[in-house]
Chains A and B, each alone.
Chain A
Amino acid sequence: MAATEPTVDDLLPLQPATFHILMALSEEDRHGYAIIQDIAARTDGAIRLSAGTLYRSLQRMLEQGLIEETEDRPAPDEDDERRRYYRMTKFGATVARAEASRLQELVRMARASGFVTRSAPRSAV
């Protein structure tokens, strides 16, 4: 049905939302709302994904094979049957690593150009 599976290079550079979602899923499987909350916490509230952006990203990432839906659910008293849980795939982890090294390389070049001072403030990507 779909076109040929994408390679790592096809997907780079990642959209910021995609990278954030992958980071949110790097520790554990999460459902949609938890992903939003995790990103907000991680960026001190600087980035708060809207529901539409989140679910459109999730849909695309599922198709690209970066994440998958998981059947492992928390204990029933913590669960909500309306929720879907997502897990990062191996491919997703590879892509995330590739994106990170791309960004690292970018920062290295920026530093060589004198754009980055030692005490560069933390900023959202």
Chain B
Amino acid sequence: MILYRALLRLYPASFREEYGREMQANFARRWRLAPHPIGRMMLLIVALVDVLGNAPAAHMDIVRQDLATAWQTIRRARVLSATVVAVTAVGIGATTAAFAVADHVLIRPLPYHEPHRLVKIWQGDLNGGRSEASPANYRDWRDHARSFERIAAYQPLSRNLIGAGTPVRLEGAAVTGELFATLGVTPLLGRTITSEDDRESSPLTVVISERLWRTRFAADATVIGRSVTLDDTAHVVIGVMPARFEFPTRLVDVWIPQVLRSDQYVYGNPFLNTVARLKPGVSREQADAEVRAISQAVALANPQVNKRQFGVALSLRDEVAPQARALLWILVTAAASLLLIACTNLANLLLTRGLARQKEFAVRAALGAGRHRLVRQLFTEHALLAACGGIAGAGIALAGIPALVRLVPTSLPTSETPAVDVRLLTFAMAITILTAIAFGVIPAWRISRQSDARALHDGVRAGTGRRTARLRSSLVIAQVSLSVLLLVGCGLLLKAMLKVQSIDPGFRAHRVLTLRTTLPLKKYENVSLRHQFFGRVIDGVQALPGVTSVAYVSGLPMVQRGGIWVINVAGFEQLPGEERLASLRFVTPRFFETLGIPLRSGRDVADSDTQASLPIAVVSESFVRQYWPGQNALGRQFKIRGIDWTIVGIVGDIRFRGLERRSEAQVYMAENQMPDRGLSGYWPRELVIKSDRSLEALLPAIRAIIASADPQQPISNVQTLSMVLSDETAPRRVQVRVLGVFAAIAFLLAGIGLHGLLAYSVSQRSREIGVRMALGAERRTILAMVMRSGMQLALAGVLVGSALACAAGRWLQALLAGVSPTDFASFGGAVALALFMTAVGSLLPALKAVRVNPLQVIRAE
């Protein structure tokens, strides 16, 4: 019997309440009629089959019935239902999108074989900085470390592809033979680069990306074995990588073997990125300790090298900048806050509505519907709304992910956009269910508790129970505090953005067009050839209508952030190398004029500065301040690579490393004075044009001029300098915009929540208000009474929210560009907005309270 009673628990509670006792009685009777153990066993089996078949069906009967009822209720209250669905959709959409991006960047494993065993090895220093590894250190780790199954190195490069359509500039990587095997990837076609390919004697080979194969070789499988020209050198295509292989960045289209000549194995020139696969069972920490020990052993044996340098092994998964990490957590927190606000708001809304429907429920309770049944009915109704919101939210998330992705610059060797897959949809579904529970179950339970026969009588005002009132007030306080949190965060980021935008880069980007022509190495080895090319391009472009000035430079500010050299100035040799750094740029005449960099004294570089004349340099003001403060620096000399350079001009400083970073002093040299061989990384390649015409208007003519100077020369990176500058603050603008949207929605929801609560409480208290007024209370007093209750809630919310924001400020710090996390203006602004919202939200209900007609209310009683 106990067994049968337990089985009956599988039925819905309402069904059990209705028929359970009778079913038990029937079962008991048959039990008595079947005294034989086998008969009884049969009886139990039949009962089990019966219950297992019918209990789910009984649940489905109720669900079907409740859904039909819910659908009707929803259709009757269209505006309210649409509001609930929209609010849920926004909350779920934002949270899902934020989760998708965070999951993609921070959690999900990289698309390689056993990615947890992949580490990147850096050359670290005592200050916590890290750089690429020098070939000698790479060799030492490769030959001596026992932690790794394989170890490989690569460096980024770019090459002009000629002979497959119009010439094009490709991003690529030079990789040692072990790289593909270390990552554990297989090609789509052909084979990958192996240790047969990275020797000096090996024939030149190239592996291409699926994208390049598709766009330039028409996805032709016979591309394997074909010869392509990269920077004037023929390479044989040996393989095509699949589309999902994006290493080291998603822009890479070609991989060529990294040949390391024996004379390249030195300690001083760090340029290799190193990845390694840990042996099974070896931890990252063990590997880290081992590479550190190896570098330090070298330093002990040879005091000249690896001074304050050592190997550092980090998980490949952790190649995410701390800013991006902080940003993602902020994003997730903001989205979760939004969802919470949405849920609390809806819980309150549905609670209000449920209480207004009290009479309906009381009637049903009187007709015999049990409490379980009412809770279930209400929950079905709320769950249906949540499900609609969830579906719409998933749509919002899909639309929002690309925008959020732009927010998070990542250096991860994986695709930019998170995949929409089961994992993501499961997440969306899970939070939809949580949402349904949060705003569905609690109000349903609360409402059903109050639905007793008392509510049938008109005089009983439902929902004024102290506990319900307290719950509703707490929900509003939670909303206000979360919206204050988001407002403060948004204010801080806005202030940081304005601060960064107001930084003077030192040059004028307005109306400056730029494009890149990277000259191939062998063809343009001689300065005279390059000078001839630059001269033809500059003269041609200069002659175009609307063009004010034109020049070539080796690297654009904000684009080329490196190019740093140690400078030797007589009298300063004792300073450590790190304190004698300057950025080196080679320019043609009129570069400063084109970029609006002020010439403080002396002269610009000139066409007359040639290999045959005195080596000259133009330096920035900070360079002069560093070595000859308060003195005339013109005519002074310094040494680079053993050559004496004479200062002929002094110009203003620019922030070439970026708006938010300190930049080294700058040294500019005449392009025409470069040595014939070497320094290929410093060849001018960026054409800068000051013009009052648009880029589009000038581009065809410029292309024609470049093609006439060298028909095989590709053009890349066409953009305006303003775009470059605006890219500097783009992530901040997106941050502010996204958090701003979140904060605005939160703010609005909190306002609606507050208004709803007060309006409801005024309508519930209309009798009390009427009586007060009849007893002589002034309208002003009533107005103040309602406004005061609104303000009390808001103040509580502001206090909690400010405390939360103070705590969260520490997270934000990495993104604040020096703005204090407790910035007064941001907090003040958020508090003022919250109070303003309270005033607006409470004003309408307060006015409604004032308009209560005492006579009518009392007569209605």
Contacts and interface: CB of A to CB of B under 8 A. Distances in A.
Interface residues of B, number: 29
A52 interface: yes
A110 B26 CA distance: 40
Contact of B23 (A55, A59, A60): A55
Contact of B25 (A1, A53, A80): A80
Contacts of B50: 50-53
A3 B72 contact: yes
B712 interface: no
Given A3-B72, A51-B27, A51-B47, A32 B54 contact: no
Nearest to A3: B68
A56 B58 contact: yes
Contact of B61 (A31, A32, A53, A60): A60
Given A1-B364, A52-B53, A59-B61, A32 B26 contact: yes
Contacts of B51: 52
A53 B26 CA distance: 14
A33 interface: yes
A3 B360 CA distance: 15
A84 interface: yes
A112 interface: no
A32 B19 contact: yes
A50 B26 contact: no
Contacts of B24: 82
A83 interface: yes
A84 B19 CA distance: 9
Contacts of B61: 56, 59-60
Contacts of A2: 65, 69
B5 to A, nearest CB: 13
B307 interface: no
Contact of A52 (B18, B54, B72, B364): B54
Nearest to B23: A51
B260 to A, nearest CB: 78
Interface string B31-58: 0000000000000001101110111011
B467 interface: no
B29 interface: yes
B540 to A, nearest CB: 81
B26 A59 contact: no
A33 B26 contact: yes
Nearest to B58: A56
Interface in A31-46: 31-33, 36
Interface in A73-96: 80, 82-84
Interface residues of A, number: 21
Interface in A106-123: none
B68 A50 contact: no
B21 interface: yes
Nearest to A83: B22
Given A51-B27, A52-B53, A82 B46 contact: no
B interface SS class:
helix
A56 B57 contact: yes
Nearest to A84: B22
Contacts of B524: none
A73 to B, nearest CB: 13
A52 B61 CA distance: 13
B15 interface: yes
Contact of A82 (B11, B21, B54, B57): B21
Q: Which of B54, B61, B69, B72 has the most CB of A within 10 A?
A: B54
Interface string B210-234: 0000000000000000000000000
Contacts of A52: 11, 50-51, 53-55, 57-58
B288 to A, nearest CB: 64
A3 B58 CA distance: 19
A84 B23 CA distance: 11
A3 B367 CA distance: 16
Contacts of B21: 82
A51 B50 CA distance: 7
A55 B57 CA distance: 12
A117 to B, nearest CB: 36
A57 B214 CA distance: 64
B22 A32 contact: yes
A2 B68 CA distance: 8
Contact of A83 (B11, B25, B68): B25
Contacts of B69: 1-3
A2 B61 CA distance: 13
Contacts of B26: 32-33, 36, 51
B451 to A, nearest CB: 13
B339 to A, nearest CB: 33
Contacts of A36: 26
Contacts of A58: 19
Contacts of A53: 50, 54
A52 B58 CA distance: 9
A80 B26 CA distance: 11
Interface in B127-155: none
B386 to A, nearest CB: 22
Interface of B: 11, 15, 18-19, 21-27, 29, 46-47, 49-51, 53-55, 57-58, 61, 65, 68-69, 72, 360, 364
Given A51-B50, A55-B23, 16 more contacts: A36-B26, A50-B46, A50-B49, A51-B26, A52-B11, A52-B50, A52-B51, A52-B53, A52-B54, A52-B55, A55-B18, A56-B15, A56-B54, A59-B19, A82-B21, A83-B22
> Nearest 7 CB-CB pairs, A to B?
A52-B54, A50-B50, A55-B19, A52-B50, A82-B21, A33-B26, A82-B25
30 contacts: A1-B69, A1-B360, A1-B364, A2-B65, A3-B68, A32-B22, A32-B23, A32-B26, A33-B22, A33-B25, A33-B26, A50-B46, A51-B26, A51-B27, A51-B47, A51-B50, A52-B11, A52-B50, A52-B55, A52-B58, A53-B50, A53-B54, A55-B18, A56-B15, A56-B57, A58-B19, A59-B18, A60-B61, A82-B25, A84-B22
Interface of A: 1-3, 31-33, 36, 50-53, 55-56, 58-60, 63, 80, 82-84
